[in-house]
Chains A and B, each alone.
Chain A
Amino acid sequence: MNDPMIVTETVDKTMIVVAYLIYLPVAITLTYYVARTLFKNGKVFMLDIFNGRENIALATNRLFEMGFYLLNLGFALLILKLDVYDPEMFGKQEMIEALSKKVGGFSIYLGIMLFLNLYLFFRGKRKAKERNLIATQTMKGMNQPPQTA
């Protein structure tokens, strides 16, 4: 029994595999739905930010969507591993508890990422507005005669 090879072969680890097989589809669908909703509605913001230049606005939207997928799916895969000290004691109850911790934590993370993206959208919109304001003011300034002291 001192040989670790023999121990790992005799212990039944089916529940851990089941937990992974539940976690993965859940995490992937969750990311997919959040990304789809976020960037379907992100187009409006992007068109606003890029002053209606559709080419670059849609390209930026797509690039941000891709980055969102990469970051979140990468994080989901990275936290996949369950720390099970004793596979013998890993029954249905433990699996449900471990899964809820993982999925819940991941959805909180997704929510934070969603609000971060929303903040970026609003920030971009504000900056675009400021830029437009400065542009109109300089145009006005050029039309007016220079002020004398």
Chain B
Amino acid sequence: MNLNILTYAIYTLVTAFLVFRVGWVFYVNGAHYLYDIFISDRDTADSLNRLLLLGYYLLNLGYVAVSLSFWPQIEDYVQLIEMLGERTGIIVLGLGVMHFMNMAWVRLVKHYTIRNH
């Protein structure tokens, strides 16, 4: 059996699950932040939240799909585990860094909206 195809299948399933799950948590909990910024305008906050979720899915699933074409040839199960760990680690760590950058960004926006009102 071709180990590369097996690895691609595992990688896609795991990362897609992670991206959907994490995105949903961000969508639900981030809404409170947007309500805080758009105090008088809940509809705008809701649509912005949905658009952000869509953009997040597009970026991350797109990255997963593109990164499949940069895998080396996989020779045995040890290499399979190593490569899966490394690639999944990169995307999970990237998600974490992006998440904290987004939270800092929301704080900054809130800071300026309060100052200008």
A62 at the interface (CB under 8 A from B): yes
State A70–B101 Cα separation when bound (angstroms).
Answer: 13
19 more A-B contacts (CB under 8 A) besides A17-B81, A20-B81, A71-B96? A8-B76, A20-B78, A20-B82, A55-B32, A56-B33, A63-B29, A69-B96, A70-B93, A70-B95, A71-B100, A73-B92, A74-B96, A76-B89, A77-B88, A78-B86, A78-B90, A80-B81, A80-B89, A81-B82
**A17 in contact with B77 given A55-B32, A66-B26 (CB within 8 Å):** yes
**Which A positions have Cβ atoms within 8 angstroms of B?**
5, 8-9, 13, 16-17, 20, 24, 55-56, 59-60, 62-63, 66-67, 69-71, 73-81
Please name all residues of chain A whose beta carbon is closer than 8 Å to the beta carbon of B96 when the two chains form the complex. Answer: 67, 69-71, 74
Min CB gap B21→A, angstroms? 9
Residues in A whose Cβ lies below 8 Å from that of B90: 74, 78
Q: Hey, what's the 0/1 contact readout for B81-117 against A, CB within 8 Å counting as 1?
A: 1100110111111111101100100000000000000
Q: Which residues in B have some Cβ–Cβ distance to A below 8 Å?
A: 22, 25-26, 29-33, 36, 75-78, 81-82, 85-86, 88-97, 99-100, 103
Report, nearest first, the 7 A-B pairs whose CB atoms are least far apart: A74-B93, A70-B96, A77-B89, A78-B89, A74-B92, A80-B85, A71-B96
Say which residue of A8, A55, A56, A79 sits within 8 Å of B75 (CB atoms). A8
Q: Are A70 and B92 in contact (CB under 8 A)?
A: yes
Which residues on B sit within 8 Å (CB–CB) of A9?
A: 75-76
User: Is there contact, CB below 8 Å, between B85 and A62?
Assistant: no
Once the chains are docked, how many angstroms separate the CA of A22 from the CA of B6?
22
Q: State whether B93 touches A75 (Cβ < 8 A).
A: yes
Q: Which residues of B contact A16 (CB under 8 A)?
A: 78
Identify the closest chain B residue to A55 (Cβ): B32
Contact A66 B77 (CB under 8 A): no
Q: CA of A55 to CA of B31 in the docked complex: distance in angstroms?
A: 10
Q: A8-B76, A56-B36 are in contact. Are A80 and B86 (CB under 8 A)?
A: yes
Are B22 and A74 interface neighbours, CB within 8 A?
no
CB distance from B1 to the nearest CB of A (A): 14
- Tell whether, in the assembled complex, residue A59 and residue B76 are in contact, meaning their CB atoms are under 8 Å apart: no
- A15, B84: Cα distance in complex, Å: 18
- Could you show 24 A-B contacts with beta carbons less than 8 Å apart? A5-B75, A17-B77, A20-B82, A20-B85, A24-B85, A55-B32, A63-B25, A63-B99, A66-B25, A66-B26, A67-B96, A67-B103, A69-B96, A70-B22, A70-B92, A70-B93, A70-B99, A73-B92, A74-B95, A76-B89, A77-B88, A77-B89, A78-B89, A80-B86
